[in-house]
Amino acid sequence: MSHDLKALTQQLVGITREAGAFIHQEARAFDRGRIEYKDLNNLVSYVDKEAEKRLVERLSQLLPEAGFITEEGTTGEQSDPNGLNWIIDPLDGTTNFIHQLPIFCVSVGLTQHGKPIAGVIFDGNRNEVFSAWEGGGAYCNDEQIRVSPAQKLADSLIATGFPYYRFEGMNKYLDILQSLMQKTHGLRRLGSAAIDLAYVACGRFEAFYEYNLNSWDMAAGVVLVREAGGIVTDFYGGDEFLFRGDVIAGCAMQPELVAAIRDYWDR
C-alpha cells in the first residue's frame, strides 16, 4: 500500500471521535420508540444509521479509492473485493446503548485484499481510543499496549458473546461454556465484540471467542490484537474468520483455547 498507514490511522482516530461524540450526544435523550428490528433480536436505531453516514462521508474524503462494507448498509454495495475497503460498525453494542448500559463503541477497520491492515475502536464511555496499523504496534490513547503474558488457559479470563440468532449451534456453545467455566478464571459477556477484542489487545482479557459475528464486528479488533502480539484464528486455527464469523483471539494460550473449543465444535 502506497499510503502512510500511521498517518492514515491518526486521521481515522479523529474521525471515529467525531462519530462517538454524536452518539454520546444522542444517548442523553434517546427515544426507545425509534428502535427498529432488522431481524430477530437484531436492533438498530437512527443513531447507528446517522453515525454510519457521517463516517462514510468523512472516510470517502480521507481515502477516495476505498470501498465500504458497513453494518447498516447506508452506502449500498460499494465494496471492492480486490482492493481497499473500510469496514464500519458505527455503534457496536447497540442493545447496550438502547438500554443505557455504557458498553458500546465505534469500530472502523481498513482491509486490503480482505486482510485487516489498520483499525480504530473508540469507547467514548471511558474516553479510550484503541488504534493499530500493520507493522506499527497497537495503542490505547497513544500508549503502546500488549496482550497478556499468560501462558495457560487455567490462568485466563475469557470474553465471549451469547448468540441471539442462528440457534442451531446453541448446544455446542453451551458445552464449550460449561467446559471453560471449569478451566479458566471465568468468562465475561460485555455485549460488544469490538470492545472485547480491544481488551484482549491491552491484556484485560486473555482471549475472546464467538461465532455468528460479521466482518464489521472484528475488522478493527483483529489488527489491534495482532499488533499487540496476539493471535487471531477461526475455530479451527485457520485464517477464515473475517467473513465466516467464528473467531478466537488471544495471547500465548490461544492454541490451547482453540483445541478446547474445537473439541466440542466438531461434535
Contact 203, 230 (CB under 8 A): no
Q: How far apart are CA 218 and CA 108, in angstroms?
A: 9
Listed residue (249, 163, 242) closest to 208, CA to CA: 249
- Per cent of the chain over pLDDT 90 is 73
* Residue whose C-alpha cell reads 468468562 in the numeric block: 187
Give pTM, 2 decimals: 0.93
What pLDDT, on a 0 to 100 scale, did the predictor assign at position 41?
42
Domains and CATH numbers, the chain: 5-144 (3.30.540.10), 153-265 (3.40.190.80)
pLDDT per residue over 126-183, tens digit each?
Answer: 999 999 999 999 999 999 999 999 999 999 999 999 876 666 778 889 999 999 999 9
